[in-house]
């Protein structure tokens, strides 16, 4: 069997119960048969096992699917590292990061790839810090190659069933329900496993963790998805509008495929491109296969969810829809929300994140009673490096509050808690090339391609927490148009610069280290700092829809020119405090080219009935708080 480092580390022999007690270990940490065991001190597992001498393996599992249609079941490959003590009776849980990126885009802020430096078929350089940190604490770590990537066979299908079931194969093997072999073809068993696995990963890796969780597979105990898509339709569409087109799904599949296999996998990508519905943007069975939210009732694993509130890659509606479903199904859960964009918490709040992750895995995978589930459910970054804790999210006490669009006299319209007394109309024309800056800037100036509505300067803070919704009564002179809305904070303030390079962080030249090292791999990473900037306004959140999808995202129905309809669509979820003296702005547009990849071409003229139009804000404190703020 191809293994490395099977010698058990000298000095980590069985610790007596007396020594364990002195170290503060949990009583159950010492096995009855004097096998090696974890050591717990101060509520967390201690690094008492070796890293350089850990057992390293590369294993292969015959899957249950055939993504490339070659008549053979795909083979899923993964690299495994476990303490040498597992060869002497230590029972270890698994931390797994399943990814399509290990040989192409690679992982982390420093773009680490897997690397076999000496050509022996075993991994020498392990991306990320999970192996360095957790293996010495009694965990095994698996880095799994998603189907069609790196050492796995088949072809990627961009979050279709073959992608989604890749990690399940390894969990089945860990729990004795599948067969794995090494490169020599020898069967390898996971007789060292304690039966519990946690999955973690950012972006695509995070989606694979959630995809595995919604299968309900036995043995998956917890997942830690970081900024991962939960509804792939929402990643490339929004309420019927195509936000990423040109066969984006097929393009991503090409990106993650090893270059030497891209020609081979072209037929699979061509099938993806033919089925993705770029010609209409509606929701079809293609997207249903790539949906995790509706499958949350199957989840038996706990969830520690992380997302950047200003992530414009995997937008925040991915976390919110999944979070709402977790709550509806009483899934044990915690949530972190940061002010950055598509940034890993390791690079935004490193020390606290590692500590939280350590305690989370210790509780769910090692059975350490450390009280983490008794702490507030939500950590939320209010401003750069200023964090709050809350009992839940949305913040308890929020109430959906209607804020009505009011007509203006010479410039922008107003905002108020009651509709205008008399019917009034706002008119504008779609401009498919209008920039986001043009939409937002100079809100007091009437412009032909938008409607702008401003509150008076606030007299008290106004806190929104949740998902705002825009409700418009409108007509158009064409059979189709898009509709967009932007919520803006007009007021000078220092904020996290999430739209600048780094999406809110600056990568420094200094390093810190998290875990042990080997001659070929260390746990040291470049430190980061928050990037902040002072600006006169902040785009708080936004939303868009295709007017033809006003009744359903599954079917588009043309408009009758001149006929009025009710349009309702959500903005992206937010948690934001408008400060006293600032003004709340609502901008209404049609095409929104910086949000959509295929702007509407009709150049429709639109009329909005203001008396029947509003934005519903999830205000903490509801109408009373809105009144107190001067709305």
Residues designated as active site: 203, 311, 342
Both tokens assigned to 369:
């009673």
Both tokens assigned to 519:
């001659």
Pick from 270, 295, 273: nearest CA to 215:
295
For residue 621, whether the previous peptide bond is cis, meaning omega lies within 30 degrees of 0, is: no
* Exposure b/e, 452-472, CB count within 10 A at least 16 = b: bbbbeebeeebbbbbbbbbbb
> How far, rounded to the nearest angstrom, does the alpha carbon of residue 121 sit from its chain's CA centroid?
32
* Interacting residues of 32 by C-beta distance below 8 A, sequence separation 6+: none
Backbone angles phi, psi at 306, to 5 degrees: -130, 140
Alpha carbon distance 8, 316 (integer Å): 46
Helix (H, G, I), strand (E, B) or coil at 133: helix
Question: What is the residue whose two structure tokens read 């038996």?
Answer: 300
Pick from 243, 242, 612, 600: nearest CA to 449:
600
> How far, rounded to the nearest angstrom, does the alpha carbon of residue 356 sit from its chain's CA centroid?
18
For the chain, the C-alpha Rg in angstroms (whole number) is: 26
Both tokens assigned to 434:
């209008």
Backbone angles phi, psi at 343, to 5 degrees: -125, 135
Going from the C-alpha of 245 to that of each of 21, 80, 238, 289, 341, the distances in angstroms are 60, 37, 12, 19, 22
Strands 220-226 and 482-496: unpaired
Question: Cβ-count burial of 509 within 10 angstroms (0-12 exposed, 13-18 middle, 19+ buried)?
Answer: exposed
> How far, rounded to the nearest angstrom, does the alpha carbon of residue 517 sit from its chain's CA centroid?
29
Backbone angles phi, psi at 43, to 5 degrees: 80, 5
Q: DSSP labels for 71-91? A: SS--EEEEEEEE-GGGGGT--
Cβ atoms 471, 401 nearer than 8 A? no
* Interacting residues of 591 by C-beta distance below 8 A, sequence separation 6+: 430, 431, 432, 434, 481, 482, 484, 599, 600
User: What is residue 231's DSSP assignment?
Assistant: B
User: What is residue 504's DSSP assignment?
Assistant: T
**Rounded to 5°, angle at Cα 149 from 145 and 153:** 95
User: What is residue 212's DSSP assignment?
Assistant: H
Backbone angles phi, psi at 271, to 5 degrees: -65, -35
Cβ atoms 134, 95 nearer than 8 A? yes
CA atoms within 13 A on the CB side of 394: 22
Pick from 472, 422, 466: nearest CA to 451:
472
Question: How many residues are present in the chain?
Answer: 631
Cβ atoms 541, 571 nearer than 8 A? yes
Backbone angles phi, psi at 572, to 5 degrees: -65, 145
């Amino acid at each position: 069997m191809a293994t490395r480092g099977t010698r058990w580390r000298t000095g980590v022999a069985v610790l007596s119960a007396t020594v364990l007690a002195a170290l503060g270990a949990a009583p159950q940490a010492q096995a009855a048969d004097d096998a090696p065991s974890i050591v717990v001190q101060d509520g967390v597992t201690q690094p008492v096992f070796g890293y350089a001498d850990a057992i390293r393996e590369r294993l292969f599992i015959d899957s249950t699917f055939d993504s490339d249609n070659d008549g053979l079941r795909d083979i899923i490959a993964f690299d495994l590292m476990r303490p040498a003590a597992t060869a002497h009776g230590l029972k270890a849980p698994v931390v797994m990061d399943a990814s399509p990126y290990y040989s192409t885009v690679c992982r982390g802020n420093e773009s680490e790839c897997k690397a076999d430096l000496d050509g022996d078929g075993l991994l020498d350089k392990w991306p990320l810090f999970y192996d360095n940190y957790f293996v010495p604490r009694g965990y095994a770590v698996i880095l799994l190659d998603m189907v069609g990537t790196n050492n796995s066979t088949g072809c990627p299908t961009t979050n279709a069933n073959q992608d989604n079931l890749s990690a399940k194969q390894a969990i089945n093997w860990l729990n004795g329900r599948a067969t794995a072999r090494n490169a020599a073809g020898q069967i390898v068993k996971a007789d060292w496993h304690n039966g519990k696995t946690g999955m973690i990963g950012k972006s695509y890796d995070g989606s694979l963790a959630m995809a595995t969780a919604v299968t309900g597979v036995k043995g998956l105990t917890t997942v830690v998805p970081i900024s991962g898509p939960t509804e792939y339709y929402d990643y490339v569409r929004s309420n019927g509008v195509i936000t990423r087109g040109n066969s984006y799904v097929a393009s991503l599949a090409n990106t993650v495929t090893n270059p030497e296999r891209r020609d081979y996998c072209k037929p699979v990508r061509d099938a993806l491109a033919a089925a993705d519905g770029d010609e209409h943007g509606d929701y079809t069975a293609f997207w249903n296969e790539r949906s995790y939210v509706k499958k949350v009732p199957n989840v038996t694993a706990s969830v520690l969810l992380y997302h950047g509130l200003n992530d414009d890659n995997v937008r925040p509606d991915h976390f919110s829809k999944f979070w709402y479903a977790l709550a509806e199904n009483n899934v044990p859960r915690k949530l972190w929300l940061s002010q950055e964009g598509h940034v890993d918490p390791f690079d935004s709040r490193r020390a606290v994140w590692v500590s939280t992750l350590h305690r989370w895995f210790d509780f769910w995978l090692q059975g350490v009673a450390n009280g983490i589930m008794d702490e507030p459910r939500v950590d939320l970054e209010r401003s750069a490096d200023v964090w709050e804790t809350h009992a839940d999210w949305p913040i308890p006490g929020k109430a959906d509050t209607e804020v009505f669009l009011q007509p203006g006299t010479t410039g922008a319209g107003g905002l108020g808690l009651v509709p205008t007394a008399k019917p009034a109309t706002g008119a504008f024309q779609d401009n498919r090339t209008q920039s986001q800056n043009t939409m937002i800037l100079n809100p007091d100036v009437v412009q032909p391609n938008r409607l702008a509505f401003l509150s008076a300067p606030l007299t008290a803070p106004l806190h929104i927490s949740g998902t705002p919704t825009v409700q418009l009564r409108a007509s158009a002179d064409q059979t189709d148009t898009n509709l967009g809305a932007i919520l803006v904070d007009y007021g000078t303030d220092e904020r996290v610069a999430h739209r600048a390079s780094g999406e809110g962080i600056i990568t420094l030249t200094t390093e810190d280290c998290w875990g042990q090292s080997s001659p070929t791999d260390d746990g040291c990473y470049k430190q980061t700092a928050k990037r902040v900037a002072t600006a006169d306004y902040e785009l708080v959140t936004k939303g868009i829809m295709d007017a033809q999808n006003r009744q359903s995202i599954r079917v588009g129905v043309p408009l009758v020119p001149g006929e009025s309809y009710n349009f309702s669509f959500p903005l992206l979820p937010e948690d934001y405090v408008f400060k006293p003296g600032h003004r709340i702005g609502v901008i209404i547009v049609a095409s929104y080219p910086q949000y959509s990849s295929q702007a509407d071409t009709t150049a429709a003229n639109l009329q909005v009935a203001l008396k029947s139009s509003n934005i519903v804000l999830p205000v903490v404190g509801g109408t009373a708080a809105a009144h107190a703020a001067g709305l």
